[in-house]
Amino acid sequence: MVLTAGAGGYLYYRFNANIKQAPLYAGEEGDAGHEVADAFGRTPINVLVIGSDSRADPEDCQIGGDCGGGANADVNLLLHVSADRGNATVMSIPRDLRTDLPGCRDAAGKTVFKAQRGLINATLQGGPGCTVAAVRKLTDLPIDHFVQVDFSGVVKMSDAVGGVPVCVSDNVYDPYSHLKLTKGEHTLQGMAALQFVRTRHGFGDGTDTGRSSAQHLFLGSMIRQLKGAGTLTDPGKLLSLADAATKALTVDPGLDGITELVGLGQDISKVPSERITFTTMQIIHDPADDNRRLIGPGATDLFRAIKDDRSLSGGPQSGDTAPSATPSVPSAPAETAAPPAATGPARGGITVVVRNGTGVTGRAGALVDALRQAGFAKGTTTGPKVTAEHSAVTYPAGEEAAAQQVAAALGLPASAVRAGEGDSVELLIGTDWPTGTRYPAGTGTTTAPAPPADPSAILKGADASTADDTSRCAQVGHEGTVELPGYRGWMTPVQAYDRSKGVPDSAP
């Protein structure tokens, strides 16, 4: 008994010692948000899983690529587990998404990342807490935890589960990630697993969308492998997995311990595979740079559905069934949708930045003129364009009354006024307001319009699948996305496979 207890204590401290820690939130303003409990006091969980491309660690450096300091968030997966633990959503945020990024500080208060409009993957240069702040700003979702995984972590964990079965639709060779596989099924371990989840030029159109889809297939297969092999109930397998996982992770203080990580794992394990939905947020090409992406139509509906704890796999919604012997709690009465009262500071002292999110040329300028004519400061001006569906007025700390003045002048409802991340009062013109200088009557509601009830409508354009789907293969691209030494011009990954006879396959 003493030896058993001693061994258990040794492993507990060993695993805890493996785990690295960093602050949850590094944004210069705001916080990581707070979950809202359902009628039975249960709360969902949102975890941001960050895949780092850092090669600063010697072990990661041996894997290949440019060694040295610096890191980007190569992968951003937002894991949402419902309040009743009955369903889960895993949403990919493409690394090439261009959006408004917050400024970030380190623990000493020093600025480590300047507020800017840029690629979301760059925020990891300010630490994982900066990436959390960026995802929080993008989605308006509370982030409870983050888990950052490095290159070597993917290798170790795929080995610990005994390999992950995957399927590819055609022969594929991506000379950038070094993935080379024949058409059909393979079980990936070690470097082959890392090559698969990193491959971008080999799948789909050669962008991050195809890579996200392949990562979803890999994760779904790993989940089935864990459940089917009894890994979570086999002490030997579980210890091997825990040792591999903890060595590869950086987490926030709320997960800084094997007990907390096991608890999170148990929550996830409660969700049936068919109720775990993988999806990629809707995006569009950036007209200014075809290699970049912008938030697309429907993305805000997807964010809202996750925030509302909606199941995206169909079936019962979280909260439809109560815990045993738990009384229901009546919902609060709805708020009025009327515009806010025109109180607060004089309009002449309020400067507004107007941003066009409609895609309609000239909308921001028209609203700037309208605000100036309504008595707002002459410094009121236009700001960078965005893509947005719902109009809103945002404000920095201490300027809520000024934002209410703006909303009242334009007929926006009270629910359209909310705290922002910037340092000025901003008017965001969404696609719900394509014409005119007064918000259309009848469109205002107490909250943003609810997403469609049908999950398939919410997931339109979002490349969705569930973890129990064994019928899908990673779709190898048929466009010219790769180059090979000795050959002129671009070729398809299938052609690259045929022309690389001397390169060994990644897996049998």
Over the chain, what is the mean pLDDT? Answer: 84
Q: Look at residue 248 in the predicted model and tell me its pLDDT.
A: 77
Residue type at position 118: G
Sign, Cα dihedral of 338, 344, 345, 348: positive
Of 181, 155, 152, 151, the residue nearest 169 (C-alpha): 181
How many CB atoms within 10 Å of residue 471? 7
426, pLDDT greater than 60: yes
**More confidently predicted of 69 and 429:** 429
List, as one string, the DSSP characters of 379-414: T-EE------SS-EEEE-TT-HHHHHHHHHHHT--G
pLDDT tens column, 316-368: 676 665 564 433 333 333 333 444 444 568 888 999 999 999 888 889 999 99
Q: Look at residue 56 in the predicted model and tell me its pLDDT.
A: 58
45, pLDDT greater than 80: yes
**More confidently predicted of 62 and 479:** 479
Half-sphere exposure of 299 (CA within 13 A, CB side): 22
Q: Which of 8-12, 237-241, 327-331, 409-413 has the lowest mean pLDDT?
A: 327-331
Of 125, 304, 186, the residue nearest 199 (C-alpha): 186
DSSP label at residue 121: G
The CA distance from 184 to 287, in Å, is: 37
Residue 422 in contact with residue 428, Cβ under 8 Å? no
Joined tokens for residue 471? 């019928």
Q: Look at residue 217 in the predicted model and tell me its pLDDT.
A: 96
Write out the residue limits of the CATH 3.30.70.2390 domain(s) in the chain. 347-429
Residue 382 in contact with residue 365, Cβ under 8 Å? yes
Residue 15 in contact with residue 260, Cβ under 8 Å? no
41-61 mean pLDDT:
79
Confidence (pTM):
0.74
Q: Look at residue 431 in the predicted model and tell me its pLDDT.
A: 87
Q: Look at residue 386 in the predicted model and tell me its pLDDT.
A: 84
Class of domain 14-316+460-498: alpha beta
490 three-state secondary structure: coil
- Residue 31 pLDDT class (50, 70, 90 cuts): very high
Q: Look at residue 6 in the predicted model and tell me its pLDDT.
A: 44
Residue 148 in contact with residue 73, Cβ under 8 Å? no
**b/e per residue 273-312 (b: at least 16 CB within 10 A):** bebbbbbbbbbeeeeeeeebbbbbebbbbbbbbbbebbbb
Q: Which residues contact 40 (CB under 8 A, 6 or more apart)?
A: 83, 319, 322, 323, 326, 328, 329
Residue 145 in contact with residue 251, Cβ under 8 Å? yes
128, pLDDT greater than 80: yes
88-100 mean pLDDT:
95
Q: Look at residue 340 in the predicted model and tell me its pLDDT.
A: 47
Q: Where are the alpha helices (DSSP H) in 189-281?
A: 190-198, 208-228, 235-248, 258-269
Q: Look at residue 467 in the predicted model and tell me its pLDDT.
A: 95
Q: Look at residue 322 in the predicted model and tell me its pLDDT.
A: 58
pLDDT tens column, 219-267: 999 989 888 776 665 656 666 677 777 777 899 999 888 778 878 888 8
Q: Look at residue 52 in the predicted model and tell me its pLDDT.
A: 85
55, pLDDT greater than 60: no
179-190 mean pLDDT:
96
CATH architecture of 347-429: 2-Layer Sandwich (3.30)
Q: Which of 82-96, 167-181, 314-328, 376-390 has the lowest mean pLDDT?
A: 314-328
Residue 401 in contact with residue 472, Cβ under 8 Å? no
33-45 mean pLDDT:
87
Q: Which residues contact 21 (CB under 8 A, 6 or more apart)?
A: 250, 251, 252, 253, 256
157, pLDDT greater than 80: yes
How many CB atoms within 10 Å of residue 117? 12
Terminal CA-to-CA distance of the chain, rounded, Å? 45
Write out the residue limits of the CATH 3.40.630.190 domain(s) in the chain. 14-316+460-498
The CA distance from 347 to 339, in Å, is: 16
483-496 mean pLDDT:
96
Q: Which of 30-34, 139-143, 350-354, 421-425 has the lowest mean pLDDT?
A: 421-425
Residue 304 in contact with residue 499, Cβ under 8 Å? no
Q: Look at residue 2 in the predicted model and tell me its pLDDT.
A: 44
